[in-house]
């Protein structure tokens, strides 16, 4: 059997040799035997293929718990030599990513239609914050958080100082809630809302997906559309690698 070195695996996958060692120590790739003469790790082509899979799951930005755990399961199943099951899981993983991407796209489409003037609510009488929270199925603290973070500016009753949520405010909150539930960060939503409130209604989807230069630290949720597009590409790559692994074992 031809053995491969740590540096060979690192070059083949574009990672640092320490990453290969760490994945081996953590059990992300299969256990590695060592050369009894010099103690060097003796990787095989199967290790290389498992590392290629792992890089697709662990090598990008954190895509959220559901997608991340699904990808981990694909890799762990392949590492256990259950390639048929791993292939099935990889296709299920692709379905999950596509579903998340479709949800994000639908939420962005609603936002764009609302930004062009389509009302998102038809409440006839102003509501108080508790009523709004019940209507939207969120907590009062969530509504207050959206207010504190600048996502909405709610007018107050001049007589008692209470916030008055009319159809326009509730419609805006519906858009915020849908975007948030679709995976967009509050920073991304605020970035888009600030552009909208400045009078610029073009390229709002781009604003959702593009952190400003002064946002030095941002997460996958701050550029959610791009992250999901990349995750779908990675999901297809997982499938291709596993199919290649199966071919190798059926036609050695």
Q: Write a three-state SS string for 145-211.
A: HHHHCCCCCCCECCCCCCECECHHHHHHHHHHHHHHHCCCCHHHHHHHHHHHHCCCCCCHHHHHHCC
What pTM was estimated for this model as a whole? 0.90
Token pair of 64 as six digits: 């959220």
Token pair of 26 as six digits: 């953590």
Task: Yes or no: say if 132 and 175 are a contact pair by the CB < 8 Å rule.
Answer: no
Backbone region of residue 31 per phi and psi (left: phi > 0; alpha: psi in -120 to 50; beta: other values)? beta
Task: Yes or no: say if 101 and 109 are a contact pair by the CB < 8 Å rule.
Answer: no
Token pair of 29 as six digits: 């790739």
Token pair of 206 as six digits: 């781009």
What is the predicted pLDDT for the residue at 217? 67
Token pair of 221 as six digits: 């949720």
Task: Yes or no: say if 215 and 222 are a contact pair by the CB < 8 Å rule.
Answer: yes
What is the predicted pLDDT for the residue at 1? 66
CATH topology of domain 6-99+226-250: Multidrug-efflux Transporter Regulator; Chain: A; Domain 2 (1.10.1660)
Q: Write a three-state SS string for 87-116.
A: HHHHHHHHHHHHHHHHHHHHHHHHHHHHHC
What are the residue boundaries of the structural domains of the chain, listed by start? 6-99+226-250
Task: Yes or no: say if 122 and 167 are a contact pair by the CB < 8 Å rule.
Answer: yes
What is the predicted pLDDT for the residue at 206? 94
Say how far residue 12 (Cα) sits from the centre of its chain.
Answer: 26
Task: Yes or no: say if 220 and 62 are a contact pair by the CB < 8 Å rule.
Answer: yes
pLDDT along the chain (252 residues), means of 10: 90 96 95 88 95 95 93 97 98 98 96 93 90 95 94 87 90 96 95 94 93 81 94 98 95 78
CA distance 104 to 230: 14
Give, for 34, the enclosing helix (H) or strand (E).
strand 33-34
What is the predicted pLDDT for the residue at 216? 73
251 Cβ neighbours under 8 A, 6+ residues apart = none
Task: Yes or no: say if 192 and 111 are a contact pair by the CB < 8 Å rule.
Answer: yes
Task: Yes or no: say if 209 and 225 are a contact pair by the CB < 8 Å rule.
Answer: yes
What is the predicted pLDDT for the residue at 183? 95
């Amino acid at each position: 059997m031809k053995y491969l070195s740590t540096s060979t695996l690192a070059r083949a996958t574009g990672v640092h040799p320490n990453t290969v060692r760490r994945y081996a120590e953590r059990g992300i790739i299969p256990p590695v035997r060592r050369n009894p003469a010099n103690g060097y790790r003796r990787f095989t082509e199967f290790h290389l293929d498992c590392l290629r899979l792992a890089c697709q799951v662990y090598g990008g930005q954190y895509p959220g718990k559901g997608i991340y755990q699904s990808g981990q399961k694909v890799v762990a199943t392949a590492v256990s030599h259950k390639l048929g099951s791993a292939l099935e899981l990889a296709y299920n993983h692709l379905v999950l990513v596509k579903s998340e991407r479709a949800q994000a796209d639908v939420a962005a489409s609603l936002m764009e239609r609302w930004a062009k003037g389509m009302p998102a609510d038809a409440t006839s009488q102003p509501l108080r914050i508790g009523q709004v929270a019940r209507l939207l199925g969120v907590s009062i603290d969530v509504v207050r958080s959206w207010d504190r973070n600048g996502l909405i500016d709610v007018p107050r009753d001049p007589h008692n100082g209470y916030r008055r949520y009319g159809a326009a405010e509730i419609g805006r909150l519906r858009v915020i809630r849908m975007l948030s539930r679709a995976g967009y960060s509050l920073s991304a939503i605020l970035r888009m809302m600030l552009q909208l409130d400045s009078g610029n209604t073009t390229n709002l989807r781009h604003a959702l997906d593009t952190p400003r230069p002064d946002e030095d630290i941002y997460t996958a949720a701050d550029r959610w559309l791009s992250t999901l597009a990349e995750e779908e590409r990675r999901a297809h790559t997982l499938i291709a690698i596993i199919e290649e692994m199966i071919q190798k074992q059926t036609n050695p």
